[in-house]
Amino acid sequence: MLWIDCPWCGARPETEYRYGGEAHIARPDPAATDDAGWADYLFMRTNPKGVHAERWMHREGCRRWFNVLRSTVNNEVLAVYPMGAPRPDVPGGEAEGG
């Protein structure tokens, strides 16, 4: 079970959260995006071995969304940061694969 530091509520078990998939995928301007670009936005996600930026929501707590950097190798949570903030630099942040 993962333990994630909610920025508002502190460390809580995974079961209180909802996973929200990869972070930093902005909704593109529909008028300026072709079909391939739209499919990319809807469906295509990276699958790194290493650091993954992802969204979580504290469903059974404050219900706030935030971003997490997690290592997919050992599930270590490397950083927690607000929605809209840039991805922080962490050691080993360059993921393999994709």
Partner 1 sequence: MNCRLESGGRIDRTQRLRFAFNGRRYRGFAGDTLASALIANGVHLTSRSFKYHRPRGILTAGAEEPSALVQLGEGARTEPNLRATQVELHDGLVAAGVNAWPSASCDLAAWTGRLAPLFPAGFYYKTFLWPASFWKAVYEPAIRRMAGLGRAPEEPDPDIYDRMNVHCDVLVVGGGPAGLGAALAAGETGARVLLVDEQPALGGALQGLRHRVDGMDGAEWAQAAAARLAAMPEVQVLTRTTLFGYYDHNTLAALERRTDHLGPDAPAHLTRQRLWTVKARRVVLATGAHERPLVFADNDRPGVMLASAAQRYVNHFAALPGRLPVLFTNNDDAYEVAHDIVAAGGKVLAVVDCRPEPAAPLAATLKEAGVALYTGAVIAATHGTRRVQAVTVAALGEDGGLGGGRWRIGCDSVLVSGGWNPAVHLFCQSAGRLTFEEARGIFLPGEATQALEVAGAAAGSFGLAACLADGAAAGARAAHAAGFGDGRAPPAPPSDAPEPGAIAPFWLAPGLKPVGHGKAKHMVDHQDDVTAADIRLAAREGFRSVEHVKRYTTVGMGTDQGKTANVNGLAILADALGKSVPEVGFTTYRPPYTPVTFGALAGRDRGALMDPVRRTAMHEWHEAAGAVFEPVGQWHRPWWYPRRGEDKHAAVARECRAVRAAVGVLDASTLGKIDIRGPDAATLLDRLYTNAFSTLKVGRVRYGLMCGDDGMVFDDGTTARLAEDHYLMTTTTGNAAHVLEWLEEWVQTEWPELRVWCTSVTEQWATLALAGPKARDVLAAVAPGLALDADSFPFMSVREGTVAGVGARVFRISFTGELSFEINVPWHHGRHVWEALMEAGAAHGITPYGTEAMHVLRAERGFIIVGQETDGTTTPQDLGMDWIVSKKKADFLGKRAWIREDNKRADRKQLVGILTDDPKVVLAEGAQLVDRPGRPPVPMIGHVTSSYMSPAVGRSIALALVKGGRARLGEAVHANQAKKFVRCTIAEPVFYDPEGGKRDG
In the bound state with partner 1, the residue whose beta carbon lies nearer, of 26 and 89, is 26
CA-wise closest residue to 95 among 26, 38, 22: 22
In the bound state with Zn ion, the residue whose beta carbon lies nearer, of 11 and 36, is 11
Would you count residue 49 as binding partner 1 (CB under 8 A)?
no
Beta-strand relationship, 3-6 and 18-22: unpaired
Would you count residue 86 as binding partner 1 (CB under 8 A)?
no
CA-wise closest residue to 69 among 45, 38, 92: 92
Residue 35 interacts with which of Zn ion, partner 1, none, CB < 5 to 8 Å by class: partner 1
Would you count residue 33 as binding partner 1 (CB under 8 A)?
yes
